[in-house]
Amino acid sequence: MNNSKQTNPSVTLHEASSQYQSNTHKIKWLAKTIVTLTVSLFLFSCGSKQVENNEEEVFVSELLDKMTLEEKIGQLHQITSQWNMTGPAPEYAQGHEERLKSGLVGSMLNVIGAEATLNAQKLVVENSRLGIPLIFGYDVIHGYRTMFPVPLGEAASWDPEVVKLSASIAALESAAAGLHWTFAPMMDVGRDARWGRVMEGAGEDPYLASILSAARVRGFQGENLADQKTIAACAKHFAGYAFAESGKDYNNVDISNATLHNVILPPFKASTAAGAATYMNSFNTIQGLPASSNEYIQRQLLKGDWGFDGFVVSDWNSIGEMVAHGAARDLKEAANMAINAGSDMDMEGNAYTNFLAELVEESKVDIKIIDDAVKRVLTVKYRLGLFEDPYKYSNKEWEKNTLYSLGNKSAARKVARESIVLLKNEENKLPISKSIKSIAVVGPLADDKDAPLGNWRADAVANSAVSVLEGIKARAGKDVTINYAKGCDLVTSERNFAGEIKFNTTDRTGFAAAVAAAKKSEIVLLAIGEDCFQSGEGRSQADIRLKGLQMELFDAIYAVNPNIVIVLMNGRPVAIPELDAKAPAILETWFLGSEAGHAIADVVFGDHNPSGKLPMTFPRSNGQIPIYYNAMNTGRPGPKNEVFWSHYTDQSNAPLYPFGYGLSYTDFKYDNLAVDSSDPSAIQVSVTLQNTGAVTGTEVAQLYIRDQFASLVRPIKELKGFQKVTLKSGESKNLTFTLTEKELGFYDNEGNYKVEDGMFDVMVGTNSTDLLTETFLLTAEVVQ
C-alpha cells in the first residue's frame, strides 16, 4: 500500500487531458466512429437501452480485433505498484514501466491518489499502441480515508441502507483518489470465529449476508458505473474460503454440495443479481480443486447459469499457489488450468504473461477463451467510462475536497451507532444517569486512537480515530469528572499491518492507577478487547479469549467498584463467559472506525438507543467452535437425563450470545403470531410487536422457518425475513411477512432448487433463540 505524501504532478489534469485528446485520439476516435455507426444502424429498430448495449458490444469487439495476442494477454495481467508513481521509476521497477508503456498491463493495484493514478495512466495511454487505459484496484473494505465499522460490525446493524451508505461514501472517496475498483465486498459466510477474516464479512447466515452484500454492491456501484462517484465492486472470495479447516487462513475446504449451494453461494448469487462488476476467486481448494481452477463454479454457474458478464480476478498469486496445492506441476500448467476454468485476470502471479501465448500456440488454450476474458475486462473499463476519459477520476482538487469531509465523518458516526450491540444491561446501568458526577474511563483501548480504525484500513491516517476517552469527555461536559487510567498495555510490540503481535503478560505497573480511578468514580467504562490487527487476513487464532492482562485488570477493578460497563472492541466473536458472569453491562462496539468514540458516547449517554443484533454467534469457549444457529439436528438432539446424546459433558451446548441477539434500553413484546396458508404461493405470517418499555426504541424482528421433513435434512432454523421497526413507548405495530417459494425451498446436491410440500415451523422473535412458534402445512400446489 502506498501511503506516501503526494507531490505536484509534472502536468495538470487539464494539460494531460488536452494531450490525450490532441495527441493520441486512438480510443476516443474509435469510440466516436463506432457510436455514430451504431446509432445509424439501430436508430429505427431498437430502443435506447438496446442501442446503448450494442454500442458497448461493437466498441469492445472492434477494439479486440485490433489487438495482438501479446496485447490481449496484457489486459489479463495485474501488477502491484513498484514505486509511488509520482516520480520516475527506480532502476528495480523499470521493467514494469516498460511493460506499462507497451500496453502489456491491464490493471494495477496499490496505486492510490489522484496524482499517482494520473501519472500511471499517462504512461499507458500516451505511450502504448492502442492507449487502452488501466483499471486501478485497491482493498477498500470499510472506507477509504474516512473509516466506517469493520463489515462484521456493520452487519450488526441488520440494515441494508446503512451498509449501502457506508459503501457509497467509501466509493466516493476512492473515486476521488483516482481508484476505479475495490476488492470488496467479501461475502464469505463464516461460522468459525477463529478465522481472522470473519471481520470482513456479514457473519454466519446466508440470508442476511445476501441482503447486506447486495446492498454493499449497490453502494459501491450506484445506478451507473460511469458515474464518477462510483467504483466497481468485486464479489469475493469465490468460493468457500470461510469454511477453511480449523479456522486457519488459506487452509483447505471440504464441504458437501448441499452446503455449497445452500450456505456459501446465495450471497454471491444475490450480488450478481445486484450487478457486481467483478469477482475474485479464493485461495482454498473446494472439493479437491483450487478455486482458481474450478470450472464448475466459474464457468458453469457464474458465467453460465447466473449470466455474469463481468470478469473474474484471482486473489494474490492464487493461480501460482496451485502448484503448492499439488494441483499443477508448474506455473505453466496452473495458467492453463486457471484460464480454461474461467479465471480471467491474474493478480501478481505472472502465470498468464509468461505462458498464455505458448499455451495458445500449443492449442492447449483456445484463442476464444482468451478473447472472452479480454472482452470481459474491456467491457468493465467501458462501463466505467475510462475509454471516454481515462483521467476522469484523477482530479486533485476533487480529491482534496472529498476525503475525510465533515459530511463523510457524520455518516461514519451514524453507521457506527447503528452497529453497536448491547449484550448485557443489568439494573439499567446504561444509559448513564444524567445526575452522574464522576466516570472512570479505563483500559488499554480507552484512549487508543488507532485501534478503532480496524484492519484493512485503506488510506486511513494512523491514530486519527476518536477514542473512547475523547468521545466521553466531549459528551459528558464540564460538570462531570472523568478519571482516566490506561491500566495496562495490550501489546508490547509496535502495532503494524504485518508481523507477529506480542501481548503484554507481565507489566502490571498501571494497575494501581486504574484501581484508584475506579475507586473515586461512580461508574467505570472499561475499554478492552482485541488489538486491531488481531483479526483480518492471516490473523487466525486458536484461542479467541481476551489476551494479555485484560481479565486480570477487570478483576482488580471489579474488586473495588463492580459498577462496570465493558466497552468491547474486536473484529470477531470473542469468548467472554467470565465478563458475562460478573460485569453488569457489556457493549459490543467492534472496531467502529473514525468516529468510534463519539458513537460510543452517543450510546453510553442515551442519545442513541442501541438496536444492533449479532450477525454471528458468540461461543462460551474455543471448544464450541464452529458454533452457529442454523445447524442440522442430529438423531440424538436431546437434552436427555443420560449420557448418550449430542452434547458436551463439561459445558452447555448453548452459545454465550446467540445469532440475532441484542438488547435495547427499552423492552419489546411479541404476541399474536398467526400464519395464513390459504394461498400456498404466498404464506402470510403476522405478529404484534409492542414497545413495553419507557423510551422509544428500534427492534429487529426476525422470522425463521424449519422444514420439518425433506428429501435433504434441513437446518433447525433458517432466517427468512426481518424488519427493523421503531416504536415509541407503549406503541404497538402489526408486522406482516410473506413466505414464497423463494424462502421455502432449498438446493439439492446437484444444485437444483426445489420446494417440497410438508410441515413447516414458523418462528418470530427478538433473536434466534427467543421465538414464538406456529406450524403450517405447505400443500403440493406451491410445488407445481
Angle at 648 between CA 647 and CA 650, to 5 degrees: 150
| Widest pairwise Cα distance in the chain | 85
Given the residues 315, 450, 459, 531, select the one marked as catalytic. Answer: 315
The set of residues, in sequence order, having a beta carbon less than 8 Å from that of 525 and lying 6+ positions away, is 439, 440, 441, 442, 443, 446, 468, 472, 565, 567, 604
* Amino acid letter, residue 592: L
Q: Is 315 a catalytic residue?
A: yes
**Opening angle at CA 390, ends 388 and 392, nearest 5:** 90
Q: What pLDDT score was predicted for residue 780?
A: 64
The reported pTM is 0.93
Contact 465, 502 (CB under 8 A): no
pLDDT at 86: 73
The SS3 call for residue 334 is helix
Residue ranges of the chain whose pLDDT lies below 50: 1-49, 782-784
Q: What are the CA-CA distances from residue 777 to residues 201, 570, 685, 715, 773 (Å)?
A: 35, 43, 13, 18, 14
CA dist 628 and 190 (Å) reads 9
Tell whether the torsion through CA atoms of 84, 86, 90 and 92 is positive or negative: positive
pLDDT at 356: 98
The confidence score (pLDDT) of residue 630 equals: 98
Cell 418470530 found at: 764
User: Rounded to whole angstroms, how far apart are CA atoms 593 and 591?
Assistant: 6
Instruction: Judge contact between 54 and 42, C-beta under 8 A.
Output: yes
Q: What is the dihedral of CA 112, 118, 120, 121, to 10 degrees?
A: 120
In the Cβ-directed half-sphere of 764, how many Cα atoms lie within 13 Å? 28
Q: How many CB atoms lie within 10 A of CB 625?
A: 20
Distance CA 323, CA 217 (A): 33
- What Rg, from alpha-carbon coordinates, does the chain have? 27
Domains of the chain (ranges; CATH) run 419-624 (3.40.50.1700), 668-782 (2.60.40.10)
In the prediction, which pLDDT does 45 show? 38
Give the tens place of pLDDT for each residue, 443-487.
Answer: 999 999 999 999 999 999 999 999 999 999 999 989 999 999 999
pLDDT for 247: 96
Instruction: Dump pLDDT digits (tens) for 689-712.
Output: 999 999 999 999 999 999 999 999
Separation between Cα atoms, residue 720 and residue 707, nearest integer Å: 12
Say if residues 203 and 152 touch (Cβ distance below 8 Å): yes
